[in-house]
Amino acid sequence: MSRPRLTDRILAARVQRTLQGRERQRRTVTRRDGVRYEVDGRWLTNFSGNDYLGLAQHFAVVDALQSAAGRDGAGSGASHLVCGHHAAHEALEKEIADWLGAPRALLFGSGYLANLAVLQGLLGEDDVCVQDRLNHASLIDAARLSGCKLRRYPHNDAEGALRQLRTVPDGAAIVATDGVFSMDGDVAPLRELSLVAKVQHALLYVDDAHGIGVVGAEGRGCAVDAGLAPGDVLQLATLGKALGGYGACVVGSEDIIGHLAETARPYIYTTALPPAQAAATLAAVKLARRDHWRREKLQNLIGHFRQNAQFRGLQLLPSTTPIQPLMCGEEKRALALTTALEAQGFWVPAIRPPTVPDGKARLRITLSSLHTQAEVDALVDALSWARDAVEMGYGNAGASGAAVA
Ligand SMILES: *Cc1c(COP(=O)(O)O)cnc(C)c1O
């Protein structure tokens, strides 16, 4: 048997994706003003971003970035353990630990890297990681990198988590879950999962990429909102979503965080975040803690959107967060809806397999405190128009190339 040629295999895979209508294209944003995005020469109202509190372009955040860059430069120049650790990193770690009421926080280049570091740094091949079926891809990849046994339980099923833990009675264990599920918008049953973890002497790890800044009083996220004590949970806060910047922070006990800082390969062998980025995020955290009105406005918009959408018979998942998916079933239908919405001036990319399970394509609609009620009303009008238009055949004749995510 001869070895397959890698380039042939890649070409075949690309052709197949194209034939199945599953190719993925990027759209280039040329200008942005809050939720208004200029794409391919046209201004669209964006309902797909994760800038839930409208902090990415806040003047105080941008000002902090600019003045820190003027002082410290564009990059950190090295990893944290060599000479890249800066006072701006230190200040941000302290602020986030204080915010979440935990002993210590550790900065990472991104949420993806942080998840790799946590599971690779804490688990080995004799250990087990029990995960929700709908967890973010980075948690799954992280468990694989660690070499541990990976067991998955049905979505939000704490008893299922307990059953899976019992199948591997030896070795250390982590129960890992998204706080707010990134594609569904619902919240994990953290109290129950915390009890399960306690009974099984496991560590509970909550990836709260979409909860931090948004959920609970002061935006402290799902774990604090569920009443978990800081000692009961290890948490991931990402800095690129509600905080409008880039990077991530793992928050937990002195021992666990110290251990990760000294041993986790995805922490040690990578360049530290630019200090200016840390300074910008520090300004964003202060705004997120202080500006309760952003969360209140967001909650009002969420309630308004759901009421209006349900009145029009649009099928939403049960979600109280800014992630409000509209289920479409077939990918083709999701793509046609996206195209119809773009024709009306709205940007809501279709989310398709493998990001979501087969047959569960959706429009992942997200709300931001920057949206106005009038924009939300206009979106609901456009959604119900698009639904009816697609029913009548709009967008079926190859129009989908216009708007693929
Ligand atoms: C976005 C996301 C990540 C990855 O974070 P980045 O900082 O974008 O790498 C991890 N987990 C969840 C649940 C996410 O939604």
User: Which tens digits make up the pLDDT trace of 53-68?
Assistant: 999 999 999 999 999 9
* The pLDDT value given to residue 366: 98
360-364: average pLDDT: 94
Verify whether ligand 1 is closer than 6 Å to residue 248 (CB atom): yes
Q: Please state the domain extents for the chain.
A: 25-53+292-391, 59-290
CA distance 34 to 56: 8
**Max intra-chain CA distance, the chain:** 66
Verify whether ligand 1 is closer than 6 Å to residue 238 (CB atom): yes
Confidence of residue 399 (pLDDT cuts 50, 70, 90): very low
Per-residue pLDDT of 97-120, as tens digits, reads 999 999 999 999 999 999 999 999
* The pLDDT value given to residue 20: 82
Residue 288 has pLDDT above 80, yes or no: yes
Residue 405 has pLDDT above 70, yes or no: no
199-224: average pLDDT: 97
Residue 66's CB is within 10 A of a number of other CB atoms, namely 13
CA distance 224 to 227: 5
Per-residue pLDDT of 65-93, as tens digits, reads 999 999 999 999 999 999 999 999 999 99
CA–centroid distance, 229 to ligand 1, in Å, is 23
For 353-402, the DSSP string reads TTTS-TT-EEEEEE--TTS-HHHHHHHHHHHHHHHHHHHTTTT-SSGGGG
Regarding pTM above 0.75, the answer is yes
Verify whether ligand 1 is closer than 6 Å to residue 110 (CB atom): yes
CA–centroid distance, 103 to ligand 1, in Å, is 23
138 CA: nearest ligand 1 atom: 10
253-257: average pLDDT: 97
80 annotated as belonging to a binding site for a ligand = no
Confidence of residue 157 (pLDDT cuts 50, 70, 90): very high
* The pLDDT value given to residue 403: 41
136 CA: nearest ligand 1 atom: 13
Instruction: With beta carbons less than 8 A apart as the criterion, state whether 343 and 390 touch.
Output: no
324-332: average pLDDT: 93
* The pLDDT value given to residue 400: 43
Confidence of residue 12 (pLDDT cuts 50, 70, 90): very high
Confidence of residue 122 (pLDDT cuts 50, 70, 90): very high
178 CA: nearest ligand 1 atom: 13
111 annotated as belonging to a binding site for a ligand = yes
* The pLDDT value given to residue 214: 98
CA angle in degrees (0–180, nearest 5) for 51-353-385: 65
Verify whether ligand 1 is closer than 6 Å to residue 185 (CB atom): no
* The pLDDT value given to residue 230: 84
The percentage of residues in the chain with a pLDDT greater than 90, rounded to a whole number, is: 88
Alpha-helical segments (H) within 155-291: 158-167, 190-199, 222-225, 254-263, 265-268, 275-290
**Fold classified for 59-290:** Aspartate Aminotransferase; domain 2 (3.40.640)
* The pLDDT value given to residue 302: 98
The percentage of residues in the chain with a pLDDT greater than 70, rounded to a whole number, is: 97
CA–centroid distance, 237 to ligand 1, in Å, is 9
269 annotated as belonging to a binding site for a ligand = no
Q: What mean pLDDT value characterizes the chain?
A: 95
Verify whether ligand 1 is closer than 6 Å to residue 400 (CB atom): no
Residue 404 has pLDDT above 60, yes or no: no
180 CA: nearest ligand 1 atom: 13
Verify whether ligand 1 is closer than 6 Å to residue 366 (CB atom): no
Confidence of residue 1 (pLDDT cuts 50, 70, 90): confident
Confidence of residue 396 (pLDDT cuts 50, 70, 90): low
401 or 244, higher pLDDT: 244
CA distance 271 to 250: 17
35: nearest Cα among 400, 389, 365, 383: 365
* The pLDDT value given to residue 23: 80
344-359: average pLDDT: 91
* The pLDDT value given to residue 266: 95
Question: Can you identify the CATH homologous superfamily of domain 25-53+292-391?
Answer: Aspartate Aminotransferase, domain 1 (3.90.1150.10)
314-330: average pLDDT: 94
Tokens of 46: 């964006």
Verify whether ligand 1 is closer than 6 Å to residue 210 (CB atom): yes
* The pLDDT value given to residue 398: 46
